[in-house]
Structures are given as C-alpha cells and as structure tokens.
Amino acid sequence: MKRPTKFVFVTGGVLSGVGKGITAASIGNILKARGLSVNLQKCDPYLNVDAGTLNPREHGECFVTKDGAETDLDLGHYERFLDQELTSSSSLMSGRVLLKVIQDERAGLYKGEDVQIIPHLTAAIQDYIINAGEGFDVHIVEIGGTVGDYESLSFIEAIRELGIRVGRENCLYVHVVYLPFLGTSKETKTKPAQNSVRELRGLGISPDILVARSEEMPVESVREKLSLFCGVAPRAIAMLPNASSIYEVPLTLEDTDIADVITEQLDLKVKKPDLKAWREVVKRAQTKHSRKVTVGIVAKYMDNQDTYMSVFEALKSAALWNDTDIELKWVDAEKIEKNDVAEMLKGCDGIVVPGGFGTRGLEGKITAAQYALKNKLPYLGLCLGLQMAVIAAARNAGLTDASTKELNPAAKDLVITTMEGQEGKENTGGTMRLGNYDCNLAAGSLAQKVYKADKIVERHRHRYECNNDYRDQYESWGIRASGTSPDNHLVEIIEGIDHPYFLSSQFHPEFKSRPNRPHPMFNGFIEYLAGKK
C-alpha cells in the first residue's frame, strides 16, 4: 500500500521578504538529498489569475514553467534548489481559485448551496494542494504574504483544515520569523517573533518548526527564549543568519538537524543525506578567483534587481564553474538613448540584454546592440535581446527605419512583428508563446558549439517574432539564424557572422540554468569572456 503524501507548510511573519521561498526550497533540497521525492508549491494571495500580469518592478521576474505557466519568482528558486522542473500545479494564486469557485457555482456544481469562503473556497484550495502533491513523498507549500494579512486568511484557514482532512500526522507547519537587532542595546529582540506566532496560533495553527532569520547569529539564550514563549521545542528552532550566498542556506539548515525533526515527525524513512554536489556549489561560491569579468546588464527595470533574478543567477553559476569572479554592472537602457553609449558601456567585458515588455528603453537597447555589433563587444541577448539585436543589425546595414511592432507599428521595415494568429491581442494576457518549444541548431554554428547538440528544448515567454520576410537579408546584415523551430518557420537563435561572440535567443535560457549545472548559453558567454583574461 502506497504511503500518503506528507505536507510541509511554510508561513512567514513579522515582515515580508523574510525568506520563506529560500527556506522552502532549502527544506526541499535537504529532503531530496535523503532520497525522498519532493515537490514545491507557492500559494499567492493576489487576485491575479497568474503572475504574468504582476508588476515586475514590485514583484520581480515572472518565472515560466516548462508547461507555460507564468509564476512567481520563487518557483525559480524551487527549480534551482531541487534541480527539477516544476509545472503549473506548483503555482496557485487567489484569482485562479476564486475563478474556479465562481465558474463551478455558475455551472450549478454546488447544487443550490450557499457558496462561502468556508468551506467552499478553502476546500478548493485544499484540492489544488492535494492534487499538486500527488505521487510525491513530500509536498512543500509556501504561503505567500505575512501572517495577519487579510488576503492570506483563506490560505491559512485552508492549510489548517487540510491538517484535519489528511491527518495531523501527515502535516507539518514551519513558521519563518525575523529577529531584529537593536544596535543601541546590542540585543536581539524576540517580541515580534512571539507576536507573529501568537497571531498564527490565533488562526488555529501551532508551528512545529520555527526558522528564525537574523542579520547575524544570535546568542544561544535567544533560542531558549523563543522556545519558552512560542511553544516550540529548542531542537525544532533553526537559527538562520544572513549568508554570503543563498546556496549556503540548505547546508545551514542541514547543520541545525531540522531535516531530522521533519523526517521523525512525519515518520519518513530516509537514506543518509548526499549533499556532496551541493557542497561543491557552495565551495565555489565562497572561493575568490584570480580572474574577474565585468558584465553590463542593459536593463529597463532598475528599481528591483529581482526583476532579473534568474538572469543574475545564471551568470553567477556560469562564473562559478569557470573559476571566475563576476561583477554585474547596471546599465540604464533609457539613459543610453540620451548619452554616449561607449561611455556607458565602458569597462564592460561583455553585455547582456535581457527580456522585458513595453516601449520604454527599447531604443537604448537597440543602440547597445548596434555598438556591440560594430565594436565586436561580446553580446548575449535574451528574448527581447534577440529582437533588439535583429533591429540593430538591420539599422547598421542601412535600414534606418527598422523596428518592432511593439515600438513603432507604422515603421516601414517591421523586422520584428506580431506572431501569426495574435494580431489584435497585443495588450491582453495569456496570448504569448509560453513554455517549452523544440529548436534545431545549424551545423557548425556558435549555437551548436555552445550547446554541443543539434536539437534543444527551451522555454519561451514572448508575443513578437522575427519577420520571415527579412530572413533572406540576415547575412547581408552580418547575422544568421542559427536556431529555428523544427518546421523552420520561427527564428529561435541568431548570432553574429564576423563577431567573436554575439549570440541571442528568442527563448529564456536563464529559466533552465542550475547552480550545479550552468546553462550552455551563459556558460559559453562567460567561458569566452574568462578566456580573454
């Protein structure tokens, strides 16, 4: 008889951004290292149906799963820490659940019952959670927001009820809190954490494990105080001070023996943990290398570096495995439009032009790509970065009006245009090419050399495509389409012909990069830059 799935619920208190996502991913990491099959899920309280319409300046990047779900950036952490691909079932937003409940009510599925938050909405949430965990030994669920937020209450109530539904012996609750340090008194304060636990208890959940985040490691008496006032056993309290790299967190949790607490309470039979590969990642992250490269990120979202989280992590991972230190330099795409591009890119060994939406900053990105083509500056373009590169090549070759329909629909030469079947839907959500698509690589191309393969599968998130009417002109522009869809209808990769390293993809390779296995496009880029040092 198959054992039931065990559930680990991760909530947060005191303040937002306390580290629930990294904590959940790290727990998954150390449980998987013990031979367990693990899945992760993020429950977000926003009324959006998916994360595709959230503001990236406030919420960071939109991470895309292999089956095309637009999700919260925490799923990127989950995939990198677990080294496994997740699906749309790992992302649940309030809007999606509410929409289903309303649709079921309209379809008469409630058979005349009054439809209420409890039990109907909370039961629907539980169904999503249980279905996502089907077939796994452990299903870890992060509840977005902070305990006490009105919008999170239905999720908190749902996981409380789920403990009754599947049996308390199959559930474990982890609460992540923050311990502020007062410099005036040189004291770590536990009162905010106590209040957060009290509030969670008031909602019917007593945490089994407390993860205490702090700037530095508190004195041991802090653990004793938390145990006394929060009702959590001392061995079930994990102190988690700031780390130099987020990849240290699983090892820090491993050293606290929290995995033993979890496996004992959930009665899980496990193997001796194998964290050798992960320790190698951390060792490399902590090593000072003799070589250093500076990479310019030609960006339009400058308010929040989380907007390019997966890009940054992919670059750092590639640097680690090429024994190279990396400095990431922000370059404001809007400012390039008004300033000397050579001066703004000064000191960069190479540049990356990442994805994005909207017209702001596009001319600056095109100018940066033009400069890279003319001056043989190594260039890596990601999604929008490919489109800007094609426009740059066309303009360099004399098509001064070359543009994208997104920027100038009336342009004479729309070398980038709306993909077939999407005309008139440019401003609506969910109308893009999303998720995994196959790609064939041209023999002898830089792309084939970097991938060491002829066929690849990559994830997409975009609405516009290269206009096939101009493809026969690419070589005269100094570029070539070195990656295409299997039917040769869609351009997936372009590269410079007479250029040391100019490579761009229509897809988002950053989503498939791992800290222990850098993505080929990023690895090739950093390998080339490091080789020049």
**CA–CA distances in Å: residue 122 to residues 127, 175, 533:** 9, 20, 57
Candidates 79, 508, 519, 527; catalytic one: 508
Candidates 383, 439, 460, 465; catalytic one: 383
pLDDT at position 429 is 52
pLDDT at position 2 is 66
pLDDT at position 1 is 53
Give CA–CA dist 484/493, Å, rounded.
7
3-class SS of residue 346: coil
Instruction: Give the tens place of pLDDT for each residue, 30-77.
Output: 999 999 999 999 999 989 888 887 777 677 889 999 999 999 999 999
Instruction: Give the tens place of pLDDT for each residue, 295-311.
Output: 999 998 777 778 899 99
Structure tokens at 14: 């005191």
Q: Across the chain, how many H-helices and E-strands are there?
A: 19, 23
Instruction: Give the tens place of pLDDT for each residue, 262-296.
Output: 999 999 999 999 999 999 999 999 999 989 999 99
Residue 103 confidence (pLDDT) above 90: yes
Give CA–CA dist 467/39, Å, rounded.
40
- The ranges of the chain annotated as CATH 3.40.50.880 are 289-531
- The ranges of the chain annotated as CATH 3.40.50.300 are 6-281
pLDDT at position 485 is 96
Task: Confirm or reject CATH 3.30.110.60 for domain 6-281, answering yes or no.
Answer: no
Among 48-62, 69-83, 108-122, 333-347, whose mean pLDDT is lowest? Answer: 48-62
DSSP-assigned letter for residue 247: G
Give CA–CA dist 60/40, Å, rounded.
19
The band of 106, judged by pLDDT with boundaries at 50, 70 and 90, is: very high
DSSP-assigned letter for residue 117: I
pLDDT at position 301 is 79
Give CA–CA dist 78/141, Å, rounded.
11
Beta strands in 146-223 (DSSP E): 171-178, 181-182, 187-188, 209-214
Residue 174 confidence (pLDDT) above 90: yes
CATH homologous superfamily for 289-531? Class I glutamine amidotransferase (GATase) domain (3.40.50.880)
pLDDT at position 522 is 98
pLDDT at position 421 is 58
Q: What average pLDDT does the segment 125-136 reach? A: 96
Reported pTM: 0.92
Average pLDDT, rounded, for the chain: 92
Among 178-192, 199-213, 254-268, 457-471, whose mean pLDDT is lowest? Answer: 178-192
Asked about 77 being catalytic, the answer comes back as no
Asked about 348 being catalytic, the answer comes back as no
Structure tokens at 63: 């991470």
Angle in degrees, CA 317, 319, 324, rounded to 5: 150
Angle in degrees, CA 11, 17, 20, rounded to 5: 35
Nearest-Å Rg of the Cα atoms of the chain is 25
Strand pairing class (491-496; 502-505): antiparallel
Asked if residue 109 lies in contact with residue 101, where contact means CB atoms within 8 angstroms, the answer is no
Q: What average pLDDT does the segment 110-129 reach? A: 93
pLDDT at position 50 is 86
Instruction: Give the tens place of pLDDT for each residue, 485-525.
Output: 999 999 999 999 999 999 999 999 999 999 999 999 999 99
Higher pLDDT, 113 or 423: 113
Give CA–CA dist 461/383, Å, rounded.
8
Among 133-137, 298-302, 367-371, 480-484, whose mean pLDDT is lowest? Answer: 298-302
Handedness of CA 339, 340, 346, 348 (dihedral sign): positive
pLDDT at position 3 is 77
pLDDT at position 15 is 85
Handedness of CA 57, 58, 63, 68 (dihedral sign): negative
pLDDT at position 480 is 97
Q: What average pLDDT does the segment 252-263 reach? A: 96
Structure tokens at 337: 């439009």
Q: What percent of the chain has pLDDT over 70?
A: 96
Other Cβ atoms within 10 Å of 180 Cβ, number = 15
Which of these, 333, 313, 356, lies nearest to 461 by C-alpha position? 356
* Beta bridge partners of residue 496, listed in sequence order: 479
Asked about 383 being catalytic, the answer comes back as yes
20-45 as b/e: b if 16+ CB within 10 A: bbbbbbbbbbbbbbbebebbbbbbbb
Residue 424 confidence (pLDDT) above 60: no
Q: What share of the chain is helix, strand, coil (3-state, %, to 5)?
A: 40, 25, 35
Q: What is the side-by-side strand order in the sheet with 464-466?
A: 402-404, 413-418, 464-466
Candidates 465, 510, 519, 527; catalytic one: 510
